[in-house]
Amino acid sequence: MAVVLENVTYSYNLDEMHRIDAVKNLSLRIKEGTFVALVGHNGSGKSTFAKLLNGLLLPTSGEVKIFGNSTLDGNKIYEIRKDVGMVFQNPDNQMIASIVEDDVAFGPENLGVEREEIKERVEWALSKVGMLEYRKHTPFKMSGGQKQRLAIAGVLAIKPKVLVLDESTAMLDPQGRSEVLKVAHELNREDGITVIHITHFMEEALDADRLIVMNDGQIAFDGKPREVFKHYEKLKEIKLAVPWETQMAISLKKVGLDMGSGIVNEEELVEKLCQLL
Amino acid sequence: MPITIRHLSFTYSAGTPYEKKALENINLQINEGDFLGIIGHTGSGKSTFIQHINGLIKPQAGEIEIFDLKLTPEKRPKVNLKALRSSVGMVFQYPEYQLFADTVAKDVAFGPKNLGLPSEEVEKRVKQAIEMVGLDYEAVKDRAPFELSGGQKRRVAIAGIIAMQPKMLILDEPTAGLDPFGKEQILNLIKYLKTHCSPTIVVISHDIDEITRFANRIVVFNDSHIVYDEPMQQLFKHSRQLQKMGLDIPRAVKVVNSLRARGVDLGEDIVTAEDLIKAVVARYNEVHSTSLDENAGVFDMYDFSQKWLTTEERQMLEEESSSEEAPIDKSIKSSEVSEDSKK
């Protein structure tokens, strides 16, 4: 198992009197090589969940295990941080060097990787995210999508087994979003990297193997995206949504059209409408 | 005329190897009552453009007339920037990052205070603005902004702008980074502000389906030029060209185009989800000789029918009918704090 959470609770202490459980008694297993999409409204606990995965936060109770290593085990924490790469929301906060290849080399350099090996890794990582031609460029003038792909390359150079994208597409334009998503899927497919993609965009969850919906620190739904989107009423109640096309099918159904069920994308919506019209 | 822009051009780092043209001969008139959407991909010049309207960037060439102020490349006469910024309210991307005061009320008061208004007037405006964005004044005024949720913080930031009672409001990516519910709340707020606060609104967004929800006119920036300036219903005749520029077109337009390619022509002028529902139902009635109600279709994610009322209005409604849902965000209570605040 790539990721195992056993009865994990994480509490923020406000003061002596108040505390909030951001994650409540959560148990979960993620198989190696899975592409997981994780959604939930602001404050549902998903970012806390992400930070628990590589020991940035330690559980108040319960245990988080990455490939069998517990984040509570001080001897294993560096191994865990190597295994779980994180890319965050703001593309401008994740660059440290003024030249692209130096930025990507930062991680392996700090791990004491051999010079030759670093060179290989930087090349590999940059080509994986489609940025090799920019290796001598400065990251500061790049588009948001390019910066996030560069951030992913920086993580890849550490050779992680799990890639966590914590709302990494939130600040990007549609083009940047699809670039990042494409790279994440390729890494999952071609290199077997387990991806945990945290997002507010429901349509980004469609191609995931598994969709986990968090609400109030717990798992509200966990299944194939298609199956989860059938629960649109409940999803609305917990301040989420379904893909636009699904909402369209539901709206037409309410007027009296026989839309069937399970429409999640444009192709299926158009197909159904062609049959009806 | 609120805003007239003539022959505006701007180049970053002019005369250096990093020289980059951002705007080239921009001509645009923004009319009173416009609900204007601005689209264009990253780097197309739209942000540089709106920074001009707020006086953050001085024109290098061309001129801008804003209400009765004139911005030109000349050094003199000096423009009264305070007057400019109180008539054009600017809500930047992620405005909640700019909250700084230790209470919500103080933060919202910062703008009107700096306009030199008497303290009673400031207080009155603060209360109004906070309620206008759908927050409960008594519940939030003494709270630290950082204790609120992401969507609530953003609304506080917007309250800080509308407390200056601008005649025109510019919002840059107002819903970026919010969850679907938070997005809907902000979109509803913007519509509300159009009728109750500032009659002219400009919104920049990457999400075309969001823009088509309210804009009556859309301006498209591409490669430092304005390439289209059209009524919302007309713009997507240029779908193919827009897509070539790397811009999204509304999902309803995509569906209509795909249907047309397969021999089902629902006609032109379909832009929003509601348009599509209507057209589909009408066609269905035609084909199946049924009489389903074309106007019964709604594309509502959430019910916000009464979300944006003042306390007084809400009380009146509550007295009228006790069963209806309260409009103001009641999720803020002094005892509970959102998850965001502890990070």
What tens digit of pLDDT does each residue of B72-120 get? 998 777 888 888 888 999 999 899 989 999 999 999 999 999 999 999 9
Look up residue B12 and give its two tokens.
Answer: 């970053």
Contact (Cβ atoms closer than 8 angstroms) between residue B218 and residue B228 = yes
Contact across the interface for B255 and A257, Cβ inside 8 Å: no
Distances (CA, A) of A2 to A5, A84, A128: 10, 10, 22
Instruction: Residue B189: name the closest of B109, B147, B251, B130 by CA.
Output: B130
More confident residue, B333 or B47: B47
Q: What residues pair up with A194 in beta bridges, in sequence order? A: A162
Given pLDDT bands bounded at 50, 70 and 90, which one contains residue B315?
low
pLDDT at residue B268, rounded to an integer: 84
Q: What is the pLDDT of residue B318?
A: 56
Of the candidates B248, B217, B221, B252, which has an alpha carbon nearest to the alpha carbon of residue B235? B217
DSSP, res A71: T
CA–CA min distance A252, chain B (Å): 6
Angle at B123 between CA B119 and CA B126, to 5 degrees: 135
- Higher model confidence: residue B255 or residue B337? B255
Contact across the interface for B276 and A248, Cβ inside 8 Å: yes
Comparing CB atoms, the residue among B181, B248, B258 nearest residue A174 is: B248
Give CA angle at B93 (B92, B98), nearest 5°: 70
Which residues of B are less than 8 Å from A277 in CB distance?
Answer: 259, 264, 266, 280, 283-284, 287
Identify the three-state secondary structure at position B325.
Answer: coil
Query: Which residue, among A8, A40, A39, A12, has the nearest Cα to A24 in the 3D structure?
Result: A8
Taking 60 as the threshold, does the pLDDT of residue B204 lie above it? yes
Whole-angstrom CA distances from B288 to A84, B281, B283, B296 are: 56, 10, 9, 18
CA neighbor of B283 nearest in space, from B255, B317, B322, B245? B255
Nearest-by-Cβ selection for A255 from B149, B273, B293:
B293
Contact B265, B287 (CB under 8 A): no
Q: How far is CA B47 from the centre of its chain?
A: 14
Helix (H, G, I), strand (E, B) or coil at B231: strand
- Distance (Å, whole) CA A170 – CA B177: 5
Average pLDDT of every residue of chain B: 86
Q: Which residues contact B289 (CB under 8 A, 6 or more apart)?
A: none
Indicate which of A21, A172, A257 best probes the interface with B, i.e. most B CBs within 10 Å of its own CB. A257
Rounded to whole angstroms, the Cα distance separating B277 from B156 reads: 35
Of A67-71, A178-182, B177-181, B261-265, where does mean pLDDT reach its minimum? B177-181
Q: Other CB atoms closer than 10 Å to residue A98's CB: what's the count? A: 11
- Mean pLDDT across B187-194: 91
| Sign of the torsion formed by the C-alpha atoms of B35, B41, B44 and B50 | positive
For residue B335, list chain A residues with Cβ-Cβ distance below 8 A: 18
- Judge: B177–A274 Cβ closer than 8 Å, yes or no: no
Amino acid (one-letter) located at B149 = S
> What SS3 class is residue B133?
coil
Q: How far apart are CA B240 and CA A245, in angstroms?
A: 21
Residue type, B185: Q
Cβ–Cβ below 8 Å for A244 and B273: yes
Q: How buried is residue A266: exposed, middle or buried, by Cβ count under 10 Å (0-12/13-18/19+)?
A: middle
Strands B217-222 and B225-231, how do they pair? antiparallel
pLDDT at B314: 52
Q: Residue A68: exposed, middle, or buried by beta-carbon count in 10 A (0-12, 13-18, 19+)?
A: exposed
Q: Compute the residue count for chain A.
A: 277
Taking only residues 171 to 210 of chain B, the set having a beta carbon closer than 8 angstroms to any beta carbon of chain A reads: 176-182, 206-207, 209
Helix (H/G/I), strand (E/B), else coil: A2: coil
Helical residues (DSSP H) of chain A, grouped into ranges: 46-53, 77-83, 100-110, 115-128, 144-156, 174-191, 225-228, 232-237, 244-255, 266-276
DSSP A222: E
Cα–Cα distances (Å) from A61 to A5, A24, A25, A64, B60, in that order, read 11, 9, 8, 10, 60
Contact B175, B210 (CB under 8 A): yes
CA nearest to A15 within chain B: B342
What is the predicted pLDDT for the residue at B329? 56
Amino acid letter, A97: A
Q: Measure the CA–CA gap between B257 and B124, rounded to whole angstroms.
A: 51
pLDDT at B296: 80
Q: What is the number of residues in chain B?
A: 343
- How far is A183 from A230, CA to CA, in rounded Å? 28
- What does the alpha-carbon distance between residue B149 and residue B144 come to, in Å, rounded to a whole number? 11
Rounded Cα–Cα distance for residues B76 and B283 (Å): 62
The 10s digit of each residue's pLDDT in B272-305 is 999 999 999 999 999 999 999 888 878 876 655 4
Question: Is the four-CA dihedral B78, B83, B85, B89 of positive or negative sign?
Answer: negative
Place of tokens 């406000």: A14
Residues of chain A with Cβ-Cβ distance to B266 below 8 Å are: 277
| Best residue in B46, B265, B301, B336 for a mutation probing chain A (most A CBs within 10 Å) | B301
Amino acid identity, position B31? N
Alpha-carbon span B338 to A12, nearest angstrom: 11
Residue B61 has pLDDT above 50, yes or no: yes
Per-residue pLDDT of chain A (277 residues; tens, 9 = 90+): 999 999 999 998 767 777 888 999 999 999 999 999 999 988 889 989 999 999 999 999 999 999 999 999 999 999 999 999 999 988 888 888 999 999 999 999 998 999 999 999 999 999 999 999 999 999 887 888 899 999 999 999 999 999 999 999 988 888 888 989 999 999 999 999 999 999 999 999 999 999 999 999 999 999 999 999 999 889 988 889 999 999 999 999 999 999 998 999 999 999 999 999 9
Partner-chain contact B342 A12, CB within 8 Å: yes
Which residue did the predictor score with more confidence, B316 or B157? Answer: B157
Q: How far apart are the first and last CA of chain A?
A: 48
- Report pTM: 0.87
Task: Name which residue leads in pLDDT, B27 or A94.
Answer: B27
- The pLDDT score that the predictor gives to residue B332 is 54
Tell me: pLDDT of B307 over 50.
no
Supply the pLDDT for residue B32: 93
